[in-house]
Structure 1
Amino acid sequence: MKLVLILLGLLAVTVAVTLWKAARHERLAEAHWPPEGQVLTVNGHRVHYVIRGAGPDLVLIHGASGNTRDFTFSMVDRLADRYRVIVFDRPGLGYTDRINRSGASLRQQADLLVQAAAQLGADRPLVFGHSYGGSVALAWAVHFPDRLSGLTLSAAASNPWSTGLGTYYTVLSHPVGQSLVIPALTAWVPDRVVDDTIDRVFLPNAAPEGYHPHIGAGLTLRRVSMRANAMQRANLLAEITAQAPRYGEIAVPVEIIHGDADDTVPLAVHSIPLSRQIDGATLTVLEGIGHMPHHAAPEATDAAIDRTAARAGLR
């Protein structure tokens, strides 16, 4: 009995220390990487956004585990001379509130961003989506076709795939993982592990100098963000499977770019089929480019947006 009490006491101490370290890690991350922009409220949900430049409205939607900083590193400044660029944190990531605990669906996320953009006076913006953000951008075009002028997709997850969810997301999307594993990761995993993961996502290209300290690895490791991201990722395949048959309904100009060296969202599984599913869509394949074209091939990325704008009659 004494041994049991000792073990329970040690467990209680471990849990208390883990929760304290997790909260401390989050406080330090938010102090080091505070919100870059402003916050508006949509149906009771706070939405963090950055807005710069002047010209036709352009909304940028980031990928899994990301936040506005992925675009403010360099892309926003490149485009702000000719567009009014609006960057949103997706629900549960960066400084935008979670919509729910089950994983905000692609349509729910698109709906939130459509309403947020409208509050900022962007009723029919150009929409750019990268990776998971491309899935949200496609949901925007499918479900709210009169609320955008054109669509640019970069390495977008768009079509069903055959590989499984993987151990990481399987664990983190399970109730036990959400309750126990995620707090432990927040508490004990150093930010450099996220930086190493980012480097793998960029392969075969390299992350640009200064990207790691700008993006905010500690923001990704917060419990709210890890929980939201895990649930969104766990639900993605089923949502894409349901969404893909409707791509033929998209009637706005669509430009697609995708690297042929992308191992995260393979070109052959996603963008090649997508280019055939949307009437008039144009696919540009980027040789030797991995999953981050907006950093590894910035000129090609910006040119795709410019082509979309021209086709929409905005340039």
Structure 2
Amino acid sequence: MNVIEIAGIVAVLCLAALGLYSLLWKRRAEALVPPRGQFTTLSTGRLHYVERGTGPAILMLHGLGGQLGNFDLGLIDALARDHRVIVPDRPGMGWSERPRKDPAAPADNAARMLELMEVLGLEKPLVVGHSLGGAIALAMAAAAPERLRGLALLSPLTTPGQPPSPMFEPLDIRSDLLRRLYSWTLATPGALRATPQILAALYGPEAPPAEAALRGGALLGLRPGHFYHTSREYRASTTGLTEIAEASRRLTLPAGILFGTGDLILEARVHGTAFCAERPGITLQMVPGGHMLPMTQPETCAAFIRGIGAAA
């Protein structure tokens, strides 16, 4: 056996070990963060969602790499006191399915959420979008404004142009084959190793809530499939965003943006201040804080959402 053959065997064994490690973490995450809601079926497959409360409808959309737990550290319950609150794991995220080749641009995700509205019989919901969910909410308003009551956007992605955070570099994989291989080998150990840096970027200057991993669902992000679909969404996140931003100039729905002044993921100056300056119909509220306001400041977010709803 020559050196090349030995190296090949070692490489295969290393890949197998990484795959087993990823599988064990997948099973651990799923055991610790089981489904907490119910399931329905969309064209993308089974979709997991939580529904609480009665009253005017609110549809809440999480951001890149998130899941419905991002809203479940008090925000859902605060709104469910007098609203029907629907919070899905968007396709491919959390416990929801998504085909590998399903388009993942904001407009494509918007179409899936409009499909969900039809399946659940949601009439004119107030749409709450966090981060990438904000771009999806804007795309929904561009495609079907008559079906919505208003938009409440939390730390939203609104316009192209900002250089991406270095935190997202592992997601920037062009080849689908490499994405699948990376998902089952290096993604999980890489995320675990970089956890302190990831948390600092996501939550800074605030501290992560104690329940972020379990109640907040963050552990689900360690699964290979979750990384795979997050990478696909990241690669497609700015596709069509210029057109969506342009369409928002004609928005007549009640709409507002809430941003943390210390957001380290999306610049409030770009996605909030400058965006709203050119769209006087969209209000802007700034608060001290970081990117994960739904988890760190649920009461502030609830008051903001209620304010938009009252204007609708």
| TM-score when normalising by structure 2 | 0.91
Aligned positions of 1:273-312 closer than 5 A: 273-286=274-287, 288-312=288-312
Report the Cα offset of residue 68 of structure 1. Answer: 0.8
Letter in 1 for 2:40: L
Report the Cα offset of residue 169 of structure 1. Answer: 4.1
Residue in 2 that maps onto 1:129: 129
Bigger shift: residues 275-284 or 67-76: 275-284
Letter in 2 for 1:243: I
The question of 1:31 aligning with 2:37 is answered: no
| TM-score when normalising by structure 1 | 0.90
The question of 1:182 aligning with 2:176 is answered: no
Write the distance in 2 (CA, Å) between the matches of 1:195 and 1:169: 16
8 Å contact from structure 2 (residues 44, 102) kept in 1: no
Residue in 2 that maps onto 1:19: 19
Report the Cα offset of residue 165 of structure 1. Answer: 7.0
Which deviations, in whole Å up to 9, do the C-alpha atoms of 1:59-112 show, x marking residues without a partner? 111111110111112111111101111101112110111244375111111111
8 Å contact from structure 1 (residues 194, 217) kept in 2: no
Letter in 1 for 2:260: G
Write the distance in 2 (CA, Å) between the matches of 1:247 and 1:212: 35
Write the distance in 2 (CA, Å) between the matches of 1:186 and 1:263: 22
Write the distance in 2 (CA, Å) between the matches of 1:284 and 1:165: 23
Residues 51 and 191 of structure 1, relative CA distance in 2, 3 Å threshold: farther
**SS at 1:283 equivalent:** strand
Report the Cα offset of residue 193 of structure 1. Answer: 4.3
Residue in 2 that maps onto 1:231: 232
Count how many residue pairs are aligned between Structure 1 and Structure 2. Answer: 311
Letter in 2 for 1:220: G
Write the distance in 2 (CA, Å) between the matches of 1:211 and 1:170: 21
8 Å contact from structure 1 (residues 185, 221) kept in 2: no
Residue in 2 that maps onto 1:106: 106
**SS at 2:49 equivalent:** strand
Residue in 1 that maps onto 2:4: 4
Write the distance in 2 (CA, Å) between the matches of 1:187 and 1:56: 40
Residue in 1 that maps onto 2:160: 160
Residue in 1 that maps onto 2:252: 251
**Larger RCO: 1 or 2 (CA < 8 Å, sep 6+):** 2
Aligned alpha-carbon RMSD (Å)? 2.2
Bigger shift: residues 244-253 or 4-13: 4-13
Write the distance in 2 (CA, Å) between the matches of 1:261 and 1:49: 31
Write the distance in 1 (CA, Å) between the matches of 2:228 and 2:310: 39
Residues 54 and 192 of structure 1, relative CA distance in 2, 3 Å threshold: farther
Write the distance in 2 (CA, Å) between the matches of 1:102 and 1:111: 12
Which deviations, in whole Å up to 9, do the C-alpha atoms of 1:199-255 show, x marking residues without a partner? 431111112232233233331121221111112112223332232111122221002
Write the distance in 2 (CA, Å) between the matches of 1:250 and 1:295: 28
Letter in 1 for 2:308: T
